[in-house]
Structure 1
Amino acid sequence: MAETGEAEILFERRGAVGLVTLNRPRALNALSLAMLGAMQAQLDIWAGDAAVTRVVLRGRGGRAFCAGGDIRQIYALAKAGAHASVDAFWRAEYGLDATVKRFAKPVVSLIEGLVMGGGNGLSVHGSHRVSSESYSFAMPEVGIGLFPDVGMTFVLPRLPGSTGTYLALTGARIGPGDAHAVGLATHHAAAGDFDGIVDDLASGAPIAAVLGAHARPVPEPGPLVAARACIDACFCADTVAEILARLDADGAPFATEAAALMRTRSPTSLVLVREQMRRGAGLSFPEAMLTEYRMVSALMRGHDFFEGVRAAVIDKDGAPAWDPATLDAVDPATIAAAFAATGGPEPSFTGSS
């Protein structure tokens, strides 16, 4: 249950709007398996309800729209040997992302605060992503021995230049100005106007008109846009080692910071993600989701995800012991195996899974 005594996720029919509120503010609205299942069931209902013409997603608390999947829950389930439940989590999360992507009605995300991991899976595949002044995007999975999932295999390689690869390999945060510049956000409004936006959307007014009426000027782009030349020159390299070499040779503060950040990440994740970004550019959305399911299934049998979660959220010592500890020691066969079929029944992510 949520800290307020209410459910972890709330659903409301408000006029023409089907309103979803993520309701775990102390957990930064992280997605539990129960939340994923409840939202999937509700979207299935609203898909067939002619009175609901648009869906609106919000997060409670102001600090985060959604910080991602509940990795603490996944860690606990895996450590308890509940591997079927871990698999059910990934199937549910990726299946929900696919539902949002193909949903026949507009999905409007009102994003206040952090939007990371699974929060991007819910929002970025929808039709409208409204940033606010506190909007902060990141896909920091390489820092916990994972990879940018929830459909980022499809999204990030399609961002301008090498910006998607940069975001994937560093896990760096960007603000609303940069997010608009690369297409991750579509509209901008003050968080204080979000209640009014919901009310106006509930009236059935055209979405474009409502968002236009509440629009605020998009903030100026930040470091991502300012460093585009460096990003495109360095992050187009074929290997992680070459990317780091180019960043080191560049020597500017942005390049030095990016290289330092990457060197704290899981070497296995870095090599895996470079290949993920290469493959993702040529995959359809369902193919990208299936690829992610295969990748995450492989990593759940490995070491670094559990060590990364331990260091980040369990013991919080910030000192993960990656295995292997260096890029040179990452086995190419391990990377290739992560993209191979699981050998068991796999979801299709096309609506029939």
Structure 2
Amino acid sequence: MTAPALFALHPTANGRQIGVITLHAEKSLNALSLAMIRAVTPTLLEWRDNPDIVCVLLQGAGEKAFCAGGDVVAMHDAIRSGDFATTDAFFTEEYALDYAIHTYPKPILAWGHGIVMGGGLGLLVGASHRVVTERSRIAMPEVTIGLYPDVGGSWFLNRLPGRLGIYLGLTGASFNAADALFTGMADFALPSALRDELCQELAAIAWTGQGEQDKRLLSSQLRELSRLTQLELPPSPIRAHYDAIQSLTDYDSVDEMVAAITRYEGADEWLRAGAKKLAAGSPTSMRLIVAAQQRARHLSLQQVFDMELNLSRQCCRHPDFAEGVRALLVEKDNAPRWSPASLAEVDEALIAGFFMPPL
């Protein structure tokens, strides 16, 4: 059986060590499974407490993806068999891992190359040093499978400029490295070809063993690498369309926002793609996405993860999540039968119930 994650230690020039974690499920684009989470978390915590280890590099196997999100097909199968113990454990342990990354006292460099979606973005955003490449393709596309942007998305999307978080959550729009830098979801852009040299670059740093000081040293090294390589990135659609996004989301109700976004019939392909994805999404997810971000606005990170745990456990018990995964990834007929079928049928009482722990 293939190990879900690989672990290695690399010596530094001054006698310290760098821990490398590789998500090891290349065929599934390094999708997060429960086994992977259970492999990564204890190692990450062990390295946190080991004074010899001064930095962690988190990467995905292969050239296609950092992490394409949670293993939602496994979630679908568990839901269909009524195994909510497994789905509850998955989200509980995934969020604990995300929180550990967000609060890690040592530098964590996440190499966000290739596909970074859903749970993958949760891992990337939490790291102290988020690196993207010219081939990064990022999204929170949960509206298409009857879920919502979780893994702390209710927290970090809320911190984007203007109403970008609402727009990206509702449309599941795909964005690139320049977008990630513009929105603050990434810190540095480096050429993908630099990956093989990365450990050598990290090994040369004069690590001190003091977490905050080492974070500054790593920032300085990555900044210098960025200046030396002068990577040319594709333009940022989010930046180009910032004013349009503000206009499309400048409404008091979810109904008006959804209507405005899906009505877009202009020439721009990026905005058209967002409109199309939203129109095909789960009506329940649409209301849930906005409600979650509104409720999370003044919550701490830990409180957001606690809130999202209730939401995600309830989503597993609501028909849309399994149905969305079935239509998109299992039977692939792209014809989900949402319940309720329209936004008008999704009332406040239904949404309020998602924020309560399941009975």
User: Normalising by structure 1, what TM-score?
Assistant: 0.92
Q: Which amino acid in structure 2 is aligned with residue 331 of structure 1?
A: D
Rounded to whole Å, the distance in 1 between the matches of 2:53 and 2:25 is: 25
Matches within 5 A, 1:171-190: 171-190=172-191
Q: Which amino acid in structure 1 is aligned with residue 245 of structure 2?
A: I
**Structure 1 counterpart of 2:244, from 230, 238, 256:** 230
Which secondary structure state, in structure 1, belongs to the residue aligned with residue 285 of structure 2?
helix
In structure 2, the residue matched to 1:13 is 9
In structure 1, the residue matched to 2:286 is 270
1:73 equivalenced with 2:81 (yes/no): no
Rounded to whole Å, the distance in 1 between the matches of 2:117 and 2:276 is: 21
Matches within 5 A, 1:64-213: 64-205=65-206, 206-213=217-224
Rounded to whole Å, the distance in 2 between the matches of 1:104 and 1:218 is: 32
Identity %: 37
| 2:73–2:329 CA contact under 8 A, matched in 1 | yes
CA-atom RMSD in angstroms:
1.6
Shift, 1:281, TM fit: 1.8
Distance change in 2, residues 1:335/1:218 (3 Å): farther
Rounded to whole Å, the distance in 2 between the matches of 1:322 and 1:248 is: 17
| 2:21–2:57 CA contact under 8 A, matched in 1 | yes
Q: Alpha-carbon deviations, 1:304-342, whole Å to 9, x = none? A: 000000011110111111111110011211101111244
Q: Which amino acid in structure 1 is aligned with residue 348 of structure 2?
A: P
1:315 equivalenced with 2:339 (yes/no): no
Shift, 1:81, TM fit: 2.5
Shift, 1:17, TM fit: 1.1
**Structure 1 counterpart of 2:267, from 253, 275, 278:** 253
Give the number of aligned pairs: 339
Distance change in 2, residues 1:73/1:247 (3 Å): closer
Shift, 1:139, TM fit: 0.4
| 2:173–2:273 CA contact under 8 A, matched in 1 | no
Rounded to whole Å, the distance in 2 between the matches of 1:56 and 1:92 is: 21
Rounded to whole Å, the distance in 2 between the matches of 1:71 and 1:89 is: 10
Shift, 1:239, TM fit: 2.2
Distance change in 2, residues 1:342/1:112 (3 Å): same
| 2:110–2:129 CA contact under 8 A, matched in 1 | yes
Q: Alpha-carbon deviations, 1:265-323, whole Å to 9, x = none? A: 00000011011121222111011111110101111111000000001111011111111
Q: Which amino acid in structure 2 is aligned with residue 221 of structure 1?
A: P
Distance change in 2, residues 1:80/1:288 (3 Å): same
Which deviates the most, 220-229 or 153-162? 220-229
In structure 2, the residue matched to 1:351 is none
Unaligned runs of 5+ in 2: 12-16, 207-216
Which secondary structure state, in structure 2, belongs to the residue aligned with residue 53 of structure 1?
strand
Poorly superposed stretches of 4+, deviation over 6 Å: none
| 1:312–1:318 CA contact under 8 A, matched in 2 | yes
Unaligned runs of 5+ in 1: 344-353
Which secondary structure state, in structure 1, belongs to the residue aligned with residue 53 of structure 2?
coil
Which secondary structure state, in structure 2, belongs to the residue aligned with residue 263 of structure 1?
helix
In structure 1, the residue matched to 2:298 is 282
